[in-house]
Structure 1
Amino acid sequence: MTEPAPNGTPAPSSEPETLPEPDVVFEQRGKLGVVTLNRPKAVNALTAGMVAAVLEQLTAWADDDTVATVLVQGAGDRGLCAGGDIVAIYRDILAGGGETASFWADEYRMNSLIGRFPKPYVAFMDGLVLGGGVGISAHGSLRIVTERTRTGMPETTIGFVPDVGGTLLLAHSPGETGTHAALTGAHLSGSDALFLGLADHFVPSGRLAELAAALEHESAETAVVRFAEEAPASALEAQRDWIDACYSADDAEEIVRRLRAAGGEAAAAADTIEAKSPTSVKVTLASLRRSRGLTLDEVLVEEYRVGLHCLSGPDFREGIRAQVVDKDRNPQWRPATLSEVHTDDVERYFAPLGDRELVLWEKESDHA
């Protein structure tokens, strides 16, 4: 117990004050630059401050000759990253959405930089890797999944649309499997991620620490290949026949009709889709089709347009409320059915933003 000072006030403690840990930690270990997302209680959900810090550090490491490889990993044992901090987004929507627009601009610049990073970028996609977690990992050059990986783009569940370049990644998945993943928002295994093209190698989670140590002095490709093992079979790949047949339509209502007619797992997928925001489902389908043939930067600009239009619509706010604020899991979508969402309604989400358009790399010096 601290003894009181002569005047009766407690004496100052001799123990140093414990400062809170930063939300993201940067280290250089040998030739390896390590990014550790450090909000384990929130499954390392990304905040605006974290994204800005990662963007600044990656920009510095890109030109640092003492760094040969970059590794991104998550603190704790629950996952790399569960996405963006949607509670913070919800609060900002109620206040007008300005902070979220700025957050996304930096996040998409970070995604763009990862996609063109000049050095090996290794991502440990262990545990949960959702939404923004996909953006900080799946654009890298060496993407590692494990037996614990649960990944996906679940945005239609909260009245939003896959972003962070996710529509480009899923548009290039085999056949229509990416369309299925995007519309249903399904959580996918590491094997499914490999099949979809969201990852490159399977390494057991118990060996990730050894791999990280090897990356400090070995070339990234050599180290990763040495630790990689054959992944279990992908359940999604086994379902490809009915997925390709049902999701090849460019109309969401026709996709649902085909799924119901196919029965079994396909009919269950139809139930899942019809529980999502009808507007999000249709805008997501349009985003996937439009992403084919575009570059990552072009897709990010378009996703930013869609995102800002979602901020001003009713379903994004309602979806977050139902899932994580009130947690009643009973969103009241507006409109409530796919048939009520018309082509003009969808096209409005892709309308240019004027002076609010996303600028990627003309302003790169702002983050140098």
Structure 2
Amino acid sequence: MLLRPVSRLPSPPSWISRLSPPMPLRAKVTNPAFQAAVTMSTSTDIPKELPGDEPNDVLFNSMYGLRSIELNRPKKLNSLNGSMVRKILPRLKEWEKSHLASIVLISGAGPKALCAGGDVAALALQNEQGESGSQASTDFFGLEYRLDHSIATYSKPVISFMDGITMGGGVGLSMHAPFRIATEKTVFAMPETTIGFFPDVGGSFLLPRLDGETGTYLALTSERLNGVQALYSGIATHYLHSSVLANVTQRLSELVFQDDLDLPGRLDLVNKTMAEFSLGLPSLQEEPILLAGELRNAIDRCFRFNTVEEIFQALEAETEQKAWAQKTLETLSSRSPTSLKVTLRQQRLGKKWSISETFQREHAIAGKFMRHPDFIEGVKARLMSKPPRQAEWQPPKLENVSAEDVEKFFEIPDGESRLKLLSEGDYTRYPHERFALPREVDIEAFVRERRLGPKKTIEEFAKKWDQKEGVREKVAEVLNRRTISDNHGWRWV
């Protein structure tokens, strides 16, 4: 069946255009030291399967124009390993060149997970073999990041079904795709500080670009977002019930794009198509927005600082959300001090990194963690011990981790080779962010410029976002929290 492309979404509002000018394909590299070491290292060496790779740990399928990637290790919650990456990357590159392949879909086998993360237990055991094992683990991360970057810069629509647990490596396979579909079973988290690591797989790019300090909060605490909360936070672009995913897949496979339709037009058609299958969002009475209201204010208050010590002090001084602050302090106190400090520094620096620089820098950071004792200890304590135990971190306290220790994770030695990527695509803002709910900075820009009042502002955003579900709720929450009406009129505070 030949389907004509529906009309595109309306152009972004004028205030967004002024706030966020279009990004060129090759974004400027922001760090001079990094620029000197590498301009944009790419390689045509596409990984191949190796003897001993697991059979059938990834399943591939073709259905008309749809190409699907199904992670197939359900007993291990589809945790990602080198064997899987070596299968996926060649297929992605093959489909990118094929005129018959129109859309790529990523999903996980079984009812529990898209992907619970990388197979870190295997990496920890590998690291115990010494330098050769640490290097092999670092090489795995390089392979994984090349896959994530390929998805982030893919020239065709990519859709990820975040149906179930989506953590760590699963986030890398999802978050950089134009379409991330949350369901009632979605459980999102970046739990790396729990195991003496840092939020990688592009977390340096994704998390700092979330509203306010929510990215910093999620990065340091590993807080989970369930179901529709992934949509409200900006992690997911759509929320669908898991029961409709099979029908969505069938419908997407039937889409036929006209030859002259460019990538933005194809993405708009996919976006419209998925909206057809929405069964609505849970009511706010049933599932209120989690990172909202006074809790959100407290997150921004406490996590805005540039040192972990200041964040601890702010949490200790917090009075309006005292129970939450105490629980958060207990959580952070159990984390690796090194991981906390490196992660906070990563969140601040990552705001300026391009998507390519992100993965190349993260590769270097990951390599340093593979040689740090906290990673092995964290994985063994939290994932391999029965029952899990509190890890014994080295060093054990925040004051024992100096600023110099942290900066070593970000140093770029002269002449050191950079991770070779498989694509030259680059940007400093997601080019497809319009498919998610409006960002708080966009709402602020509109309020400051237009001053239409809450009701008209909500209607304007709903119209501009083509009546997308969740827009009204998100904009209303932001306006309730960030605007007041007094003798000076209605205004942003």
Q: What are the residue-to-residue correspondences of 1:1-368 with 2, within 5 Å?
A: 22-95=56-129, 96-218=133-255, 219-232=269-282, 233-238=288-293, 239-262=295-318, 263-327=322-386, 328-352=388-412, 354-361=415-422
Q: Which amino acid aligns with 1:141?
A: P
Give the whole-Å Cα distance in 1 for the aligned partners of 2:419 and 2:55: 32
- State the 1:21 CA deviation: 5.5
Structure 2 residue matching 1:236: 3-state secondary structure? coil
How well do the aligned residues superpose, as a CA RMSD in angstroms?
1.7
Contact between 2:153 and 2:423, CA under 8 Å: does it hold in 1?
Answer: no
Give the whole-Å Cα distance in 1 for the aligned partners of 2:244 and 2:105: 15
Paired residue total:
345
- State the 1:352 CA deviation: 2.2
Give the whole-Å Cα distance in 1 for the aligned partners of 2:215 and 2:424: 32
Say which is worse superposed, 86-95 or 355-364, in terms of deviation.
Answer: 355-364
| Residues 301, 207 of structure 1: alpha-carbon distance in 2 compared, 3 angstrom cutoff | same
| Residues 299, 270 of structure 1: alpha-carbon distance in 2 compared, 3 angstrom cutoff | same
Contact between 1:169 and 1:197, CA under 8 Å: does it hold in 2?
Answer: no
For structure 2, which runs of at least 5 residues remain unmatched after alignment?
1-53, 256-268, 283-287, 426-493
- Give per-residue Cα distances to partners, 1:201-239, cap 9 Å, x unaligned: 000111111111111113522321111354343312342
Structure 2 residue matching 1:76: 3-state secondary structure? coil
- Give per-residue Cα distances to partners, 1:253-281, cap 9 Å, x unaligned: 11111112212112211110111001000
- State the 1:98 CA deviation: 2.4
Relative to the length of structure 2, the TM-score reads 0.68
- Give per-residue Cα distances to partners, 1:152-201, cap 9 Å, x unaligned: 11000000001010121110010001100000011211333223322100
Identity between Structure 1 and Structure 2 (%): 38
Say which is worse superposed, 355-364 or 28-37, in terms of deviation.
Answer: 355-364
| Residues 188, 115 of structure 1: alpha-carbon distance in 2 compared, 3 angstrom cutoff | same
Contact between 2:334 and 2:390, CA under 8 Å: does it hold in 1?
Answer: no
Give the whole-Å Cα distance in 2 for the aligned partners of 1:120 and 1:298: 23
For structure 1, which runs of at least 5 residues remain unmatched after alignment?
1-19
**Does 1 or 2 have the higher relative contact order (CA < 8 Å, sep 6+)?**
2
- State the 1:130 CA deviation: 0.3
Structure 2 residue matching 1:101: 3-state secondary structure? helix
Relative to the length of structure 1, the TM-score reads 0.90
Structure 2 residue matching 1:83: 3-state secondary structure? coil
